[in-house]
Amino acid sequence: MFKGSYVAIITPFKNDKVDEAAFKALVEWHIAEGTNGLVPCGTTGESPTLSHPEHERVTEMCVEVAKGRVPVIAGTGSNSTDEAISLTKHAKKAGADAVLVVTPYYNKPTQEGLYRHYKALHEAADIPIIIYNIPGRSIVDMSVETMARLAQLPNIVGVKDATNDLTRPFSTRLHIKKEFSMLSGEDGTALAFRAGGGHGCISVTANVAPRMCRQMHDAWDAGDAKKAIALQDRLFPVHMAMFCETSPGPVKYAASLLGKCSDELRLPLCEIAAASKQKVRTALVGAGLLN
């Protein structure tokens, strides 16, 4: 069971190359700060603009540095099933603990197409698979019924739910009557998602507030709702600032303010506006993350 605070870790760049030293330092920092697990090569890691060799290298570095101290869930999704299979096989070979596979974007597959896509991945690589359901980016929304059908396959073990629909964890639990990791993909509603039976969050905010994000989930698991809510209240302005422009623009700028890496992005994403930079800075100061 994957649970707690997982970070959708950014991919640092320097002069349009992956900054390997900065990435490795980020992984070490997250482990030291208590992050429960690492998710490289997701949308927050700018996977759409990573070449295949870069994508594979980032996964390999994450596994190598983590050294089994925390789970690594490698992003391996694509809107091409063959490409997703190739990336998933590589993640398995690299030693990842699981893979995160986004619903195919742009193609707009039917529910049957979604089922066959994930079933093909399941048959091709013996590794736990977490479904990433994010209609806002991929357009298609996997139904709970399709997810329940997929959950009958032994290596389909969970979902990253970025629907922002707080009825989903209730419905998912009722449809999938087995251990199934339900991880929020929306920082702003992550605590409410947990109240609905969720087990954790794959977080953007954890890139800059890893300890606080972990503490919030720990408080909830300990039955201390008052403390969990207080931490979410403190984090909430940061959550909002991280999405004042398209992610990962704001969170990369926030990481640069903390001295973790540059705020360099790859086109078609670009540097966030001055007004957005002020929102990010203000939120970090307000949460006590930046002086």
Q: Are strands 156-161 and 200-203 parallel, antiparallel or unpaired?
A: unpaired
Q: What torsion do the CA atoms of 58, 85, 138, 250 make, to the nearest 10 degrees?
A: 0
CATH 1.20.1050.10 fits 4-210, yes or no: no
Q: Report d(CA 6, CA 126) in Å as an integer.
A: 22
- Going from N- to C-terminal start, the domains of the chain cover 4-210
- From the candidates 3, 92, 118, 160, give the one annotated as an active-site residue: 160
Query: Which residues are CB-neighbours of 177 under 8 A, at least 6 positions away?
Result: none
In degrees, rounded to 5, the angle at the alpha carbon of residue 24 between the alpha carbons of residues 18 and 26 is 100
Amino acid in position 285 = V
pTM passes above 0.95: yes
Neighbours of 200 (CB within 10 A): 27
d(CA 162, CA 132): 8
- Which residue is catalytic, options 6, 118, 132, 253? 132
Catalytic residue check, 253: no
The neighbouring-strand residues paired with 237 are none
Per-residue pLDDT of the chain (291 residues; tens, 9 = 90+): 899 999 999 999 999 999 999 999 999 999 999 999 999 999 999 999 999 999 999 999 999 999 999 999 999 999 999 999 999 999 999 999 999 999 999 999 999 999 999 999 999 999 999 999 999 999 999 999 999 999 999 999 999 999 999 999 999 999 998 899 999 999 999 999 999 999 999 999 999 999 999 999 999 999 999 999 999 999 999 999 999 999 999 999 999 999 999 999 999 999 999 999 999 999 999 999 999
Residue 277 annotated to the active site: no
Alpha-carbon gap, residue 170 to 176, rounded angstroms: 10
Residue 21's contacts (CB-CB under 8 Å, 6 or more residues apart) are none
